Amino acid sequence: MADPANTRALLDQPLDAFLAYLADERRYSPKTVASYRRDLAGLRDWLLAKALNDWSDLQPAHLRRYIALRHREGLGSRSLQRLLSATRSFYRYLQKQGRAARNPAADAVAPKAPKRLPKTIDHEQIERLLAIPGNDPLAIRDRALMELFYSSGLRLAELASLDRAALDLSAGLARIEKGKGAKTRIVPVGSKARQALHAWLKARPDLMRGETDALFLSRNGHRLSHRAIQQRLKYWAVRQGLDQTIHPHRLRHAFASHLLESSGDIRAVQELLGHANISSTQIYTHLDFQHLAEVYDKAHPRARKR
């Protein structure tokens, strides 16, 4: 029977050499090396507990069981991904040293992390946010900016890059030339947003400094930056007494979830958001099961009451 102390020493020798290689030759940060040490030490202890006496004894099936165990113990997806990354790197090192014939982590994948639903804003909070007081050019601009954000569900980059010529207020449309994936789409502009934009276009010359195509201008006459838009949303959320931080994606999410709650038409919301895949739109849904059950009862031919 193998001496556990000797077995551990045999496992530690290549592990210590690998960590020294990362620190001395690859110039990894001390924090990264410490993370690799912690992850691989846990795997080493599991090998010892399973009477696997050499790193080359670890098979893909063994590693899958170990990952499943750590997942059950509560280790998160990102931590498991880091563990697998450390294991792959270590076994690539062992292969170069002639101490392992294969990399058991080559095809291993960590459990996917559940997608986090963005926090939503209810209708009352949206109304409060958009009731921006004042008739100075900056207040008028900010009202128009936020009304358009919420009205059309734009991304931050899309709003910031929007030109004056992209608006057709008589038709209630905006042309988004370079959305995500460099795709062009047409989005509707609601009546409240059109009113706010009309007011802004009258005030816009007060901020112009020479020729510019940008729809939204800073006080210096330049195109309003991403950072400036984020700061204005944050400022007005505090000023209007909202109890949560408002950032651009919150307004896009509110647009999607409120429209979906009213219409139930996820395909239409997908098109308006500019999502290539319906799976991207599904994270915006907050339809409860009762609503889904009602839709099912009305629509499914084997569920309708006769």
**Residue ranges per domain, the chain?**
4-96, 123-296
Confidence (pTM) = 0.54
What is the tens place of the pLDDT at every residue in 119-156? 667 778 888 988 999 999 999 999 999 898 888 778 88
Catalytic annotation on 150? no
Catalytic: which of 219, 226, 249, 304? 249
- Residue 287: per-residue pLDDT: 43
- Residue 7: per-residue pLDDT: 78
Catalytic: which of 194, 204, 252, 253? 252
Fold of 123-296: hpI Integrase; Chain A (1.10.443)
| Spans in the chain with pLDDT lower than 50 | 1, 179-181, 276, 278-282, 286-290, 292, 306
For 4-96, CATH number?
Answer: 1.10.150
Percent of residues in the chain assigned helix, strand, coil, to nearest 5: 60, 5, 35
Catalytic annotation on 180? yes
Catalytic: which of 44, 88, 155, 222? 155
Catalytic: which of 64, 180, 222, 247? 180
- Residue 114: per-residue pLDDT: 61
Catalytic annotation on 252? yes
Task: Answer yes or no: are the C-beta atoms of 203 and 143 closer than 8 Å.
Answer: no
Q: Sheet with 173-176: list strands edge to edge.
A: 167-168, 173-176, 185-188
Catalytic annotation on 82? no
Catalytic: which of 194, 232, 258, 275? 275
Residues β-bridged to residue 176? 185
- DSSP structure string for 170-187: TTTEEEESS-TTS--EEE
